[in-house]
Chains A and B, each alone.
Chain A
Amino acid sequence: MATKFFGTPVKRREDRRLLTGGSQYTDDLQLTGMVHAAIVRSPHAHARIRSVDVEAARSAPGVVAVFTGKDMEGVAGIPTAWLIPDSDLKTTDHPALARDRVRYVGDGVAVVLAEDRYQAEDAAQLVQVDYEILDAVADQVKAVEEGAPQVHDDAPGNRCFLFNTIQGGDLDQAFEDADDVLSFRTTNHRMIPSAIEPRGCVAQYNAASGELTLRMTSQNPHIHRLLLSIVLGVPEHKVRIVTPEIGGGFGSKIAVYADEAVMAFCAMQTGRTVKWVETRRENFQCTTHGRDHVTDVEAAYTNEGKILGLRFKTWANMGAYVSTAAPGVPTWLYGLMLSGVYDVPAVGLEVVGVFTHTTPVDACRGAGRPEATYLLERIVDLVAQRVGLDPVEIRRLNFIGKEKFPHAVAPGVIYDSGDYDAALDRLLEMVDYEAFRSEQAEAREQGRYLGIGLSTYVEICGLGPSSIVGSTGFQGGLWESSVVRVHPTGKVTVMTGANPHGQGEETTFAQVVGDVLGVDIDDVELVHGDTDLVPMGMGTYGSRATAVGGIAAFKAAQKVVEKASKIAAHQLEAREEDLEFEDGRFQVKGTDQGMSFQDVALQAYLAWNLPQGLEPGLEAQSFYDPSNFVFPFGAHACIVEVDAETGQTDIVRYVAVDDCGEVINPLIVDGQIHGGIAFGVAQALYEHAQYDESGQLLTGSMMDYAVPKPGQMPSFELDRTVTPSPVNPLGLKGIGEAGSIGSTAAVANAVADALSPFGIDHVEMPFTPQRVWQAIQQA
């Protein structure tokens, strides 16, 4: 295949509409006869609902209808789709609107429909809910203590699950052989994904045909179709999910939420088209959060700095209900990464999933893998300090050597390819590590505290081989499908079940397909996000869209070329093996006889003269199910300066070398890395979803929860190494989450390094000025 577009920084084809206000997000939709919904939400973390009085709201100006949990009794509960086996998982009932108990601040109690959004809000304020306030618990360690307030009657001790499936190698032997053991407790604190576009939906129901259409903010429309069909009792083929332009997801638009089911219910009850878009406050209270682990770590190591075994016990806060993919995140996605880039012979993990009176927790950019990387990178730095090694040396000592790939790691997966030393070498060169160490020493003499933090990470992504994810309890396959449809004029429509929402696949998939078909990328249009147009799909998350969905498009395009070749050979009266296909032209080798791909397309549809038995038309579908996950990796370095008087941490430099295999579009890959790094840096420095003892979200708005601003982010210095994946024919790995997986730990290690003159070797995240200042005061 000639690669005219693959590897080039093509300007994004989706951008013109986004730059001119020509795109349509969910909130931009104005449909005839549309009414607007406002949801009445619980102000209490835990309460019994004594009564809900909707009379005043019902008679308020413009109000069309008001529904409560009792009205929705016939609607099934919100489901969970990752049923991790052997864990005694309690999914518990999750009604779309609460009936007798509310379990977190923001739990929906009633919904008001009115002719305009202001009226809906006015009327929502008139709904009188009589609550009997109950004790609440927000912290997962407290929630499992004896006598803690119970979230669900059918989940004793607030235990959602106990997961201990990931046990690799001989842990007891490792701890016996060790010279010493490092033990500490640390947290991966809670984050709010905070896509700038809030969630929303427009629900339409045609009672005559029985068709339900939901235009909604979704990362995975086909999954939403399946699950909402089950919840609402509408047959799957009568449900259509359309995703208009999506303003970012970061994991928060994967789950099936109560709200969309409520809107569908309202549309079905009233016959009116119903629009609901959450406010930012609702987004912070009701859209899933991420992370929130407390972990006890034990690391067995030798005096030489070799890590022999790692034992983890994690309490994962699940929130009040088990969100769609939630059980898989703090177990498989986290646990499989708990040896990282290191050759650790034995790894054991126990996870207690805990119900609390907080917003449900689910995937959030990185989903489990940043948590694992943070732990590992803290472990290697702390062990290095104890055995007197430099952070660079301990990494090199424990790396999985490049000659060992494919490599089975103790947690139970097989890494596809990697060259961790190469990434680290390039990083140290860019940073000029030795020069920094001298600068640091000089600065310390002047009372300035510089620190460098390294983070060498690997991630599991490109989810994933269906048979393996099935064995983890995921209730679906994780293949991806694509249709490549060539029109009679030779223009191409590519349908994908991936659902890009900022990742640029309208460009990168066109680059891939354009190369295969030999057509210009402007002649390739990507169609996604409509279950009536795209045959099937699993969506965009887990850094899978390109490594799985892109390969499906590639394979479908190859099938198109195979058929086109047959038609061309027939038309040219040549044998197929005598044809060569290059730059969009079928040529009979060694002659000037040939025809263009466009001519072949026309002939395929004219069908006047096709090979015997060949069907007319020119399109092909592929369902691609990868044989393994892919494992991108990289090495990051963060240099910080800490103001010892105020505790303020400033990033001086951020350097990253990432390896995502072959690169389709370097501009887009860099953009993904930047965004990922920012996400992880923000976790380390700024973002922290905090609850008080009564379960009130203290950081409930963008005035309190610090989504970083331009001036709070450093410039990023990037480079890459290229280690192709053997898993797929294009050598691709994923890149959407890599930055967020590597960066948090780099900042954490940098802060610890900066504070080492005070005798500090560890500070808990996030590194708010107060927390760092307190650490210095207590040192």
Chain B
Amino acid sequence: MFPGEFEYHAPETIEEALDLLSRHGSDAKLLAGGHSLIPMMKLRLASSQHLVDLKNLKSSLSYIREENGDLAIGALTTHTEVEVSESLQQKAAPLAEAAGLIGDVQVRNMGTLGGSLAHADPAADQPAPALALEAQLVAQGPGGRRTIPADQFFFGFFATALQQDELLVEVRVAGLGANSGGAYLKVPHPASGYAVCGVAAVVETDGGGNCVKCRVGVTGISDGAYRATGVESALEGSAISADAIAAASAHATDGVEPLDDYFAGADYRRALAATYVKRALTTASERAGG
């Protein structure tokens, strides 16, 4: 309820922010929207000596741009901005749909895309569409910028490829073209609203009812979001049908150790993942137009 003490910094530039990260190392924590960090500070489950508030970077890191068919989203773009963006709704539907299902209105007004991805909560929504859309995550560190593919970004429980002195600055996705469709479907925890199971699916067809490419990102099921590659390879190259989708969905948790808690045990999570992969693939296929 009452956070402990810390020193507060509000850098004016990305460089200043990076400098603070370099100087204070693991004693520093970044504050974007704050909707993951502040509740933990209030419960005194998280503490830091230095809090680096990114609010002054909003003007430079909050945007949704189209560049040569790609979409570039600033890391401090809020979930609300992602949710209502027409270009994201049209070209990266899973991202916009997931944004609209995060927390609640108040949380979406403050929480940011970059904050959510960098925090890597195993039950967060946005990692799933980032994986399914093969997002490129742009990190800036003392040595400049580097791009990390989404499937090399998440490393399980609250762990990412970001270095201590790096800041996630941008998320890039290739917009979905003709014969492509995507969807995000979710089972929210009834209390927290976090994903007990969240599935983002992207399907591309040859225009003749055959799946040429399929990407599936799954969150909430295990200690980190993952690509369901077994599902993808099972569907790619097949004629899309209810049976084919159902058969592919059976691979939803291949090689994955599901979480097991009182609300949803491992067996149940496996079943949920398969069902939601099936449903997300079905919607994505319909949107792909056959």
Direct contact of A and B (CB under 8 A): yes
B191 touches A706 (CB 8 A): yes
Q: How far is the CB of B146 from chain A (nearest CB, A)?
A: 35
State the CA gap A232–B83 with chains docked (Å): 57
Q: How far is the CA of A770 from the CA of B190 in the complex (A)?
A: 12
Chain A nearest CB: distance from B277 CB in Å? 12
Contacts of B44 in A (CB 8 A): 121, 125
Residues of A within 8 A of B262 (CB): 690, 698
**Nearest neighbor of B276 in chain A, beta-carbon distance:** A646
For residue A768, which residues in chain B have a CB less than 8 angstroms away from its CB?
A: 190, 263
The interface residues of chain B lying within 8 Å CB-to-CB of A704 are: 191-192
CA distance A712 to B191 in the complex (A): 10
Q: Which residue of B lies closest to A685 (CB)?
A: B190
CA distance A770 to B262 in the complex (A): 9
B268 touches A703 (CB 8 A): no
Point out the residues of chain A lying under 8 angstroms from B268, CB to CB.
647, 769-770, 773-774
A121 touches B187 (CB 8 A): no
Give Cα distance in the complex from A412 to B20, angstroms: 74
Per-residue CB contact flags for chain A residues 259-301 toward chain B (1 = under 8 Å, else 0) read 0000000000000000000011100000000000000000000
B2 touches A121 (CB 8 A): yes
Contact residues in B for A445 (Cβ distance below 8 Å): none
- Does A576 count as interface, using CB distance less than 8 angstroms? no
B-side contacts of A773, CB under 8 Å:
268, 271
Contacts of B242 in A (CB 8 A): none
Find the B residue at minimum CB distance from A768. Answer: B263
B interface majority secondary structure: loop
B275, A645: Cβ atoms closer than 8 Å: yes
A117-B2, A768-B263 as given contacts; A705 in contact with B272, CB under 8 Å: no
Indicate whether A648 reaches chain B with its CB closer than 8 angstroms: yes
Which B-chain residue is minimally distant from A773 (CB atoms)? B268
Which residues of chain A from 390 to 418 have any CB-CB distance to chain B below 8 Å in the complex? none
Report the Cα distance A708→B4, complex, angstroms: 31
| Interface: B265 (CB within 8 A) | yes
Give the Cβ gap from B282 to chain A, nearest Cβ, in Å: 12
Q: Is A31 an interface residue (CB 8 A)?
A: no
A719 interfacial contact with B, CB 8 Å: no
Question: Which of B4, B43, B263 meets A281, CB within 8 Å?
Answer: B43
Evaluate contact between A703 and B187: CB separation under 8 angstroms: no
Closest to A282 in B: B1
B259 proximal to A (CB < 8 A): no
User: Taking CB as reference atom, which chain B residue is nearest A699?
Assistant: B191
B264 on the A face (CB < 8 A): yes
A702 contacts the other chain (CB 8 A)? yes
- B4: contacting residue among A122, A280, A705, CB under 8 A: A122
**Residues in B neighbouring A121, C-beta threshold 8 A:** 1-2, 44
Say yes or no for A246: interface residue by CB 8 A criterion.
no
CB distance from B272 to the nearest CB of A (A): 6
A118: Cβ under 8 A from any B Cβ:
yes
Q: How far is the CA of A648 from the CA of B263 in the complex (A)?
A: 13
Chain A residue nearest to B269 (CB atoms) is A770
Number of A-B contacts (CB under 8 A): 56
Nearest chain A CB to B119's CB is how many angstroms away?
15
Closest partner residue, chain A, to B278 (CB atom): A645
Tell whether, in the assembled complex, residue B191 and residue A279 are in contact, meaning their CB atoms are under 8 Å apart. Answer: no
Chain A neighbourhood of B191, CB < 8 A: 686, 699, 702-707
Contact residues of B between 187 and 208, Cβ < 8 Å to A: 187, 189-192, 194
Which B residues are in CB contact (< 8 Å) with A686?
190-191
Bound: A20/B268 CA distance, A:
47
Q: Interface SS of chain A: helix, strand, loop or mixed?
A: loop
Contact, CB under 8 Å: B263 / A703: no
Rounded to whole Å, the gap between the CB of A630 and the closest CB of chain B is 35
Cα–Cα, bound, A125→B187 (Å): 37
Q: Once the chains are docked, how many angstroms separate the CA of A699 from the CA of B191?
A: 10
Q: Considering only CB atoms, which chain B residue lies closest to A125 in the complex?
A: B44
Interface residues as binary, A106-126 with B (CB distance below 8 Å gives 1, 0 otherwise)? 000000000001100110010
Chain B residue numbers with a CB within 8 Å of A646 are 187, 271-272, 275
Question: Which residues of chain A come closer than 8 Å to B192, judged between CB atoms?
Answer: 703-704
Complex Cα distance, B104 from A703, in Å, reads 13
Return chain B residues, CB-CB under 8 Å to A279: 1
Q: How far is it, in angstroms, between the C-alpha of A712 and the C-alpha of B189 when the chains are bound?
A: 11
Taken together as a complex, chains A and B put the C-alpha atoms of A544 and B123 apart, in Å, by 45
Kindly state the separation between the CA atoms of A48 and B151 in the bound complex, as whole angstroms: 50
- Contacts A121-B1, A690-B262 given; indicate if A706 touches B190 (C-beta within 8 A): yes
CB distance from B205 to the nearest CB of A (A): 25
Residue of A nearest to B42 (CB): A279
Determine the chain A residues whose CB is within 8 A of the CB of B272 once the complex forms: 646, 769
Q: Name the distance in Å between B246's Cβ and chain A's nearest Cβ.
A: 11
Q: Which residues of the other chain, A, contact B265 by a CB distance below 8 angstroms? A: 770
- Closest Cβ–Cβ distance, residue B217 to chain A (whole Å): 19
Of all chain B residues, the one with the shortest Cβ separation from A117 is B2
Minimum CB–CB distance for A553 against chain B, Å: 40
Q: Taking each of A702, A706, A712, which has the highest tally of chain B beta carbons within 10 Å of its own beta carbon?
A: A706
Residues of B within 8 A of A117 (CB): 1-2
CB-nearest residue of chain B to A702: B191
Which residues in window 708-725 of A have CB below 8 A to B? 708-709, 712
A614 to B210, CA, bound (A): 99
Q: Interface readout for B268-290 with A: 1 if CB under 8 Å, 0 if not?
A: 10011001000000000000000
Contacts of A118 in B (CB 8 A): 2-3
Cβ–Cβ < 8 Å partners of A703 in chain B: 189, 191-192, 194
The residue in chain A whose Cβ has the minimal distance to the Cβ of B190 is A706
Alpha-carbon distance A219/B271, docked complex (angstroms): 46
Q: Please, which residues of chain A bring their CB within 8 A of the CB of B190?
A: 685-686, 706, 708, 712, 768
Chain B CB within 10 Å, residue with most, of A280, A647, A707, A770? A770
Whole-angstrom CA separation of A645 from B279 in the bound complex: 11
Q: In the complex, what residues of B have CB within 8 A of residue A709's CB?
A: 104
Interfacial chain A residues near B264, Cβ < 8 Å: 769-770
Within 8 A of A (CB), among B1-15: 1-5
Q: Check A769–B187 contact: CB distance below 8 A.
A: yes
Chain B min CB distance to A758 (Å): 15
CA distance A90 to B65 in the complex (A): 71
Nearest chain B CB to A40 CB, angstrom units: 13
Chain B residue numbers with a CB within 8 Å of A769 are 187, 264, 268, 272
Q: How far is the CB of A771 from chain B (nearest CB, A)?
A: 9
Nearest CB to that of A703 among chain B residues?
A: B192
> In the complex, A380→B129 CA distance in Å?
49
Residue on A with the closest CB to B271?
A: A773
Which A-chain residue is minimally distant from B279 (CB atoms)? A645
- Which of B2, B43, B44, B104 counts the most chain A CB atoms within 10 A? B2
A389 to chain B, nearest CB (A): 35
Q: Given that A118-B2, A281-B43 are known contacts, is A648 also in contact with B271, CB under 8 Å in the complex?
A: no
Given the complex, which residues of B lie within 8 Å of A645, measured CB to CB? 271, 275
Residues of B within 8 A of A702 (CB): 191
* Cα(A706)–Cα(B262), bound, Å: 13
Contact with B along A679-701 (1 / 0, CB 8 A): 00000011000100000001100
Residues of chain B with a CB closer than 8 A to A281's CB: 1, 43
Q: Evaluate whether A770 and B263 lie within 8 angstroms (CB atoms) in the complex, with A125-B44, A281-B43, A645-B275 already known.
A: yes
Q: In the complex, which residues of chain A have a beta carbon less than 8 angstroms from the beta carbon of B104?
A: 709
Q: Which of B153-202 contact A (CB under 8 A)?
A: 187, 189-192, 194
Query: Distance in Å from the Cβ of A706 to the closest Cβ of chain B?
Result: 4
The listed residue with most A CB atoms (<10 A of its CB), out of B43, B190, B265, B275, is B190
Pairs A–B under 8 Å by Cβ, sample size 22: A118-B2, A121-B1, A121-B2, A281-B43, A645-B271, A646-B187, A686-B191, A699-B191, A702-B191, A703-B191, A703-B194, A704-B191, A705-B191, A706-B191, A707-B191, A709-B104, A768-B190, A768-B263, A769-B264, A770-B263, A770-B268, A773-B271
Q: Could you list which residues of chain A lie within 8 angstroms of chain B, going by C-beta atoms?
A: 117-118, 121-122, 125, 279-281, 645-648, 685-686, 690, 698-699, 702-709, 712, 768-770, 773-774
Extra 6 A-B pairs, beta carbons < 8 Å, given A122-B5, A648-B187, A686-B190: A121-B1, A699-B191, A703-B189, A769-B187, A769-B272, A773-B271
Which 10 pairs of residues, A with B, have the shortest CB-CB distance? A706-B190, A706-B191, A703-B192, A121-B2, A279-B1, A770-B268, A645-B275, A118-B2, A686-B190, A770-B264
